[in-house]
Structures are given as C-alpha cells and as structure tokens.
Structure 1
Amino acid sequence: MARLTNSFWNRNKFKISGLLLILPAYFFYESLHPTFPDALPVQTVGEFTLAPMPLDLNAPYRHDGEYIKDFMVLFQKGDITDIRQAFMNIGPNALSVAQLHDGDLGILHGSRYGQHVHALTNGSISSGDRLWLTIEDWQGEIRTVSWPVPDSWLSS
C-alpha cells in the first residue's frame, strides 16, 4: 500500500477538479446572457426607422489594415430588401460610396432581425466625429443619416 504525504495537492485535488467541472456552466450562462451598451437614438432616413447599437465600449481595433468598431443596426420600420447596399463609418464626414467600395469593411450584412456592420473609423475617436450611415436603394438614391458620438466612445 502506498503512503501519501499530507500535502496541499493531495488534500485538495478532488475539490479543484470539481471546480473545473463547474466553471464551464458559468461561462455558458454568461454567453447566453450578453450585455450590450445602450443603442443610439432612433432616427428615420427615407422609409427606414433604425437605431445603431455598439457591441462594446472598447476603442476601435485593427482588422485587415483598417480600424473598425462593431455595431448592430436594428430596423424598426422599412423593408431591408429595399436596400441595395449600406455602409457605416465614424468620422467628421460621411465617406463617399466610391471610397466605401474600395474594401469590404463598413458594409451592413445580416438578416431582417438585425444588420451587423464593422464601421470604418480612425485609430481613435474624437469629439468632432459622428457616426454616419449611408443607404443606397435599388433606384440608386443615396440617403445619409448621422448620430453624435457619445462621450463614452472618445479616446483619452
């Protein structure tokens, strides 16, 4: 028969293994109940009534050589099938459609329940910046709407 020393590991390894079995349940619960920042005010552009909601309050991050910030755009009125293409950016001015066509970032994509977008921005967000949404319909009409940037997004 083997004699075990009365060490911390030998006294607590069963309890530690039980803790490792409980931790996935906690993380699973957290993944089913995410928390997001408040959505920006609802605005109407053309036939659409919508509100963008940031997915987090973190600073913009680098993706494929560009700085982006993630959003969910919630459409309350209007049929999204009437949209040919839509783009989002953060800056002092809305980017032109020609500039936005240069890459694949900044394009709204998703389903009728919510559109996701990686909004193009600079490396930092300043107080003079606005959140711009540009929508083009199938007739070629371009509409633009903007929101002021909340203070919580500003880079320090």
Structure 2
Amino acid sequence: MARLNSSFWNRNKFKLSGLLLLLPVYFLYRSLHPSFPAAMAELLLGEFSIVPMPLEDGPPYQHDGEYIKDFMVTFKQGDVTRIRQAYMNIGKTALPLSQMERGDLGILHGSRYGQHVHALAAARFSAGDRLWLTLETWQGNTLVTSWPLPAAWLMR
C-alpha cells in the first residue's frame, strides 16, 4: 500500500541511515592514525638511554583514587631485563621505592620495545614539578633521573 503523505521525514530517513553508517569509518580512521605529543629529551641513566613520551597533553586524571598521567618509555640503549623494578612519578622529588612498592600505580610494564607507565602525579602541576624515573637493578643499585615538565602543562 502506498504512503499518501510524502513528508520530509519519509523522503529522507533512508539517506540519514546511510550517513549513520559512515560514522564507524571516521572513528576507525581516527583509531588507526593516532597523534601523540612530542617525546621528551633522551637521558642517559647508568647503562640505559631513556626517552619518555606522554600519551596525551591533557592534565592528570583520577584512577583508583590517585591522579596519574600516562607515558610510553623507550629504552634506546641498555638491556631492559637488567632492571628489577622501575617507577615514575611527577612531583618536586622522586618518591622512595619503599613508598612506590606499596601500590601498583607508577610501575613500568611492557616489553623491550616499549614500557608503559601510569605516572603518579598531583591533581595540578606546579612550577617546581619534574618527571622522575627511579630504576632498581638486580644488583641493588638505585638510579634516579628527571625531566622538566613542558611549559604548556604548567599553564593549565
């Protein structure tokens, strides 16, 4: 039976459903072509050459009651299997290993190709904050280094 009223909705609802089918293509393209902020400077820490890269430029977010910021850490030089444990935090000083060992946030995890870390941070960054990395080797040596935070992070 033919529809007698030819309204705008009845004429164009098929076209609208076709447009909705194009949305997954857009989101698939965005997920296959991510954009990341620039990596921080490469630093030498003992036998390791380390480059941290933030995964986003946004402020820290809350996870399990703590504020964290995500990073990918690449070891350009040195054998990752020589590291017993490694932690990252953002603040005035590096947090001691005894404090970092109590929780599961802030620990580097991943493979030799790249380590991921949820760096512990405060809700807001201040002028004296730095990105701290603390490594402990299997021989019991503790190595600590830090990077200055980008100026754009401090303005938020």
Please state which band the TM-score falls in when normalised by the shorter chain.
Answer: over 0.9
The separation in 2 between residues aligned to 1:117 and 1:147, in whole angstroms, is 15
1:99 aligns with 2:123: no
> Aligned-pair distance for 1:129?
0.1
Counterpart of 1:83 in structure 2 is 83
RMSD between aligned residues: 1.0
Counterpart of 2:117 in structure 1 is 117
Report how many residues are paired. Answer: 156
TM-score normalised to structure 2 length = 0.96
> Aligned-pair distance for 1:139?
0.4
> Aligned-pair distance for 1:5?
2.2
Structure 1 counterpart of 2:55, one-letter code? L
The change in CA–CA distance for 1:146 and 1:5 in structure 2 (over 3 A counts) is: same
Structure 1 counterpart of 2:109, one-letter code? H
CA contact (8 A) 1:39 1:51 kept: yes
The separation in 1 between residues aligned to 2:135 and 2:150, in whole angstroms, is 22
| SS of corresponding position for 1:18 | helix
> Aligned-pair distance for 1:18?
1.1
The separation in 1 between residues aligned to 2:137 and 2:81, in whole angstroms, is 9
Structure 2 counterpart of 1:64, one-letter code? D
Structure 1 counterpart of 2:140, one-letter code? G
TM-score normalised to structure 1 length = 0.96
- Cα deviation 1:53-75 (Å, max 9, x = unaligned): 00001111111111100000011
| SS of corresponding position for 1:144 | strand
Alignment of 1:7-156 (within 5 A): 7-154=7-154, 156=156
> Aligned-pair distance for 1:6?
2.3
- Cα deviation 1:88-145 (Å, max 9, x = unaligned): 0000000000110121100000111110000001111111100000010100100001
The separation in 2 between residues aligned to 1:123 and 1:155, in whole angstroms, is 13
Q: Which runs of 5+ in 1 are unaligned?
A: none
